[in-house]
Amino acid sequence: MNERSGLRLVVLQVLVLSLIATLGGRLWFLQVHSGEAYEAAATSNRVRDIVTPATRGLVVDVSGRPLARNRTALVVSVSRTELLRQSDGGKSLLTRLAEVLDVDYADLKARTTVCGQPGAVRNVCWNGSPYQPIPVADGADDDMMDAVQQILERREDFPGVTAEQQSVRDYAGGGVGANAAHVLGYLGPVTEDEVAQAQADGRPLQSSDLVGRAGIEKEYDAYLRGTPGVRRLSVDSQGGVTGTISETDATPGDYVVTHLDAAVQKATEDALAAAVKGARTTGDPNKGGQKFKADSASAVVMDVRTGGVVAMASYPTYRPNIWVGGISQDEYEGITGAAGNYKILNRATQGEYAPGSIFKAVSTAAAVDAGFSVHRSYNCPGTYNVGNHLKKNYESAAYGVISFERAIEVSCDTNWYYFADTVWNRLGGYEQRSDAKDPFVQAAKGYGLGEATGIDLPAEAGGRIPGREWKQAYWKATKAAACVRAKKGYPEVEDRARAAFLLQLAKENCTDGWRYGPGDEANFAIGQGDVLVTPLQMARVYAAVANGGTLWVPQVAKSVMRPDGTVVKQFAPKSAGKLPVSKDTLSFLQRALTKVSVTGTGAGVFRGWPLDQVPMASKTGTAEVFGKQSTSWFASYAPADKPQYAIVMMVTQGGTGSGTSGPQVRKIYEKLLGVSGSTVRPATALQPGAAPPKGLPRITEDGRVLPPASAARKAAAKPKTPARTPRSTASAGTG
């Protein structure tokens, strides 16, 4: 044998040794170095959890009426695994199923497509676990029973299709027909990321769970969800059960008691719809009698003593039950798309609008701060020259020299132009770059504008306070685009006058866009120009004026209770601060707003109202929006002498405040305060005693929810309360 052979034998030995060493090293790594991790993996391998879903908690109104509850329905589900196992990918199976269920094949296809895969439609696609049966239809009616019957009889035609009794959400409207879609929100299947996150947070979610996606359902999901029951079984590799390791029962979700009152909510929704309908049959005098579009609207009823939201409505709206059992593609596009005018938006908290004259409740405080006494008289001409620009009163009305109070009553804009112009000059005109000394900006901030109110609803908008600093920042952000337009103009705009105006605007914005002129200050003072607020913000402002200056953090939820009636959490009223006004100014403002309903712009609204018994504080607003019809606003609180509720309603492209919103707000008050014609019967009020109940609903042992004891007693004790004793408007004026 040659040396070459021997040498190569040595090489072979080295190779063999290294193979052995590799195995040994890897074995050490697996067993000694990271053995513990594998031990955990082995444990999870041998354990199966059988999960009993928890019943979701109810959402009830202030007197215990169910707004969101659960009902049993037959739910038809499709196993995606079984679909994929079909030779045609499940096409024929889904076609058969669509026929039986009387729905479109495309709809079933969309619902059983896993999100993120080709052809998936957002929010319709299945974003739960791909291994989870996907619910495609539910119902309790006869059609559904028939369909299920067919599916069960033709099992071989429907492999992987199951039909079983399940608990599904039911938005019951309190049993009085309320909708409250925007406040309640909706549920959607949980995503795999959320399951992982919930695991880490110690609030386990199953891949079959639904979680709140908007509104109260989302905000209080952790309470409503409950804890699923888990039976932990040890199993062998075939899934055969070898024993029970542990067992916990499902804990049903907690109830969320809201400040909402289903009856008031219903009344508010009806009034809002009527306001929209009314506007659409009214001609716009400024647009040659063209009818108002009234494309969106909103109303908020707030308890001025707690900041509780008694009712909140947004228009256009939708049936909240379309979310139950999965939403169809058409329905989803219908409520989220431009064609449906973004029905899903809650205009009360997410819509931002110029407030117009109802903003005077804010800018009055600014004027006082700037030294304009409320006890003096001011000239109210038809027009006022602001920085070489003639600005008019509404319909150029001139009232001569009038008191400050009267200026609020008739909503004299020129008065505030004078205040603003004076302030602007005093601050140093164009030289002033800071908002720090501008009383209008400071007052708006002090009234809680320009930032979210902190209401317990997700995705709230904050509005905008367009002071000097905002304008500079805005100019920096938009300068480039404006300068391009200043050169190129607007060739695509057909209306030549409008194109010329836009070009002029672009030229100004390009070079001088940062300049905060007297016109800006004047617009700010009357809630026009770039000022944006949400209806909720204004409801809170008027509630604060009413209650003596406390700016509440608005609350929808009042408390959280266990299904056995134990109170888990009480949400005490939360103050966000005090209005930045003196007591004197505040009582002046209260007086002035009360007079508005008597002899001011709100007088027409409250014609025939028993003002002597129930004085009303109100303010109309008709905000101009460039290129659109005016926005109708009506802000109010009542009773003016003993305030309980504040109501704000607005209708975009809806005409005047007194013409469109005012009368409908009055309708709400009639029901809310028990006013019929000129008689007042608090017992007939929607809320007993014309005040929100103080106590909490009671839950009986068999699970029924009863109204609060105090309210029940009150209603029982005073079945026929006589009309209130008359009170003079004079006493109301000082209150």
Part of the chain binding other proteins (CB under 8 A), chosen from 22-30, 493-501, 524-532, 694-702: 22-30
Q: Is the dihedral of CA 689, 690, 695, 696 positive or negative?
A: positive
Amino acid of residue 50? I
589 by Cβ neighbours in 10 Å (0-12 / 13-18 / 19+) ranks as buried
Part of the chain binding other proteins (CB under 8 A), chosen from 41-49, 356-364, 555-563, 608-616: 41-49
Part of the chain binding other proteins (CB under 8 A), chosen from 23-31, 179-187, 258-266, 304-312: 23-31
CB of 15 to other proteins, least distance (A): 8
CB of 153 to other proteins, least distance (A): 33
The reply to whether 487 sits near other proteins by the rule CB under 8 A is: no
CA angle 194, 196, 201 (to 5 degrees): 90
188-247 residues in contact with other proteins (CB under 8 A) are: 235-238
Whichever of 42 and 480 has its CB closer to other proteins, that residue is 42
The Cα–Cα gap between 653 and 664 comes to 16
**Contact yes or no for 170/321 (Cβ under 8 A):** yes
The reply to whether 477 sits near other proteins by the rule CB under 8 A is: no
Whichever of 131 and 480 has its CB closer to other proteins, that residue is 131
Whichever of 28 and 628 has its CB closer to other proteins, that residue is 28
The reply to whether 46 sits near other proteins by the rule CB under 8 A is: yes
Instruction: For the chain, report the end-to-end CA distance as a whole number of angstroms.
Output: 121
**Contact yes or no for 587/595 (Cβ under 8 A):** no
Among 4, 375, 376, 583, binds other proteins (CB under 8 A): 4
**Contact yes or no for 634/535 (Cβ under 8 A):** no
Part of the chain binding other proteins (CB under 8 A), chosen from 18-26, 395-403, 574-582, 692-700: 18-26
The reply to whether 27 sits near other proteins by the rule CB under 8 A is: yes
Whichever of 1 and 717 has its CB closer to other proteins, that residue is 1
Part of the chain binding other proteins (CB under 8 A), chosen from 40-48, 209-217, 546-554, 662-670: 40-48
The Cα–Cα gap between 72 and 13 comes to 74
CB of 10 to other proteins, least distance (A): 9
The reply to whether 39 sits near other proteins by the rule CB under 8 A is: yes
Which residues face 51 on adjacent strands? 230
The Cα–Cα gap between 597 and 667 comes to 15
The reply to whether 32 sits near other proteins by the rule CB under 8 A is: yes
- How far from 517 is each of 206, 354, 396, 480, 713, CA to CA, in Å? 59, 19, 23, 21, 60
CA nearest neighbour of 409 among 590, 280, 269, 592: 592
CB of 79 to other proteins, least distance (A): 15
Part of the chain binding other proteins (CB under 8 A), chosen from 9-17, 95-103, 439-447, 474-482: 9-17
Q: Report the side by side order of strands in the sheet with 617-623.
A: 309-315, 296-303, 645-652, 631-638, 617-623
The reply to whether 28 sits near other proteins by the rule CB under 8 A is: yes
Part of the chain binding other proteins (CB under 8 A), chosen from 16-24, 214-222, 473-481, 545-553: 16-24
The reply to whether 731 sits near other proteins by the rule CB under 8 A is: no
Residue located via tokens 């609350």: 555
3-state DSSP assignment of residue 114: strand
Residue located via tokens 């908008």: 461
CA nearest neighbour of 58 among 227, 255, 210: 255
The reply to whether 84 sits near other proteins by the rule CB under 8 A is: no
Whichever of 235 and 683 has its CB closer to other proteins, that residue is 235
Count Cα neighbours of 612 within 13 Å in the Cβ-side half-sphere: 8
How many residues belong to the chain? 735
The reply to whether 35 sits near other proteins by the rule CB under 8 A is: yes
The reply to whether 426 sits near other proteins by the rule CB under 8 A is: no
Whichever of 34 and 95 has its CB closer to other proteins, that residue is 34
| H helix or E strand, kind and range, residue 270 | helix 262-280
Whichever of 9 and 572 has its CB closer to other proteins, that residue is 9
The reply to whether 34 sits near other proteins by the rule CB under 8 A is: yes
Cis ω before 316 (30° cut-off from 0): yes
Residue located via tokens 């009232």: 399
The reply to whether 23 sits near other proteins by the rule CB under 8 A is: yes
Whichever of 41 and 200 has its CB closer to other proteins, that residue is 41
The reply to whether 20 sits near other proteins by the rule CB under 8 A is: yes
The Cα–Cα gap between 616 and 598 comes to 8
Whichever of 40 and 398 has its CB closer to other proteins, that residue is 40
Tokens in use for 285?
Answer: 């005098």
The reply to whether 81 sits near other proteins by the rule CB under 8 A is: no
CB of 349 to other proteins, least distance (A): 44
The Cα–Cα gap between 481 and 477 comes to 9
The Cα–Cα gap between 418 and 371 comes to 13
Part of the chain binding other proteins (CB under 8 A), chosen from 8-16, 310-318, 520-528, 588-596: 8-16
The reply to whether 38 sits near other proteins by the rule CB under 8 A is: yes
Tokens in use for 440?
Answer: 């209008």
CB of 4 to other proteins, least distance (A): 4
CB of 101 to other proteins, least distance (A): 31
The answer for residues whose C-beta is within 8 angstroms of residue 582's C-beta and 6 or more apart is: 368
Site residue total, other proteins (CB under 8 A): 38
Binding site for other proteins (CB under 8 A): 1-2, 4-6, 8-9, 11-13, 15-17, 19-20, 22-24, 26-28, 30-32, 34-39, 41-42, 45-46, 235-238
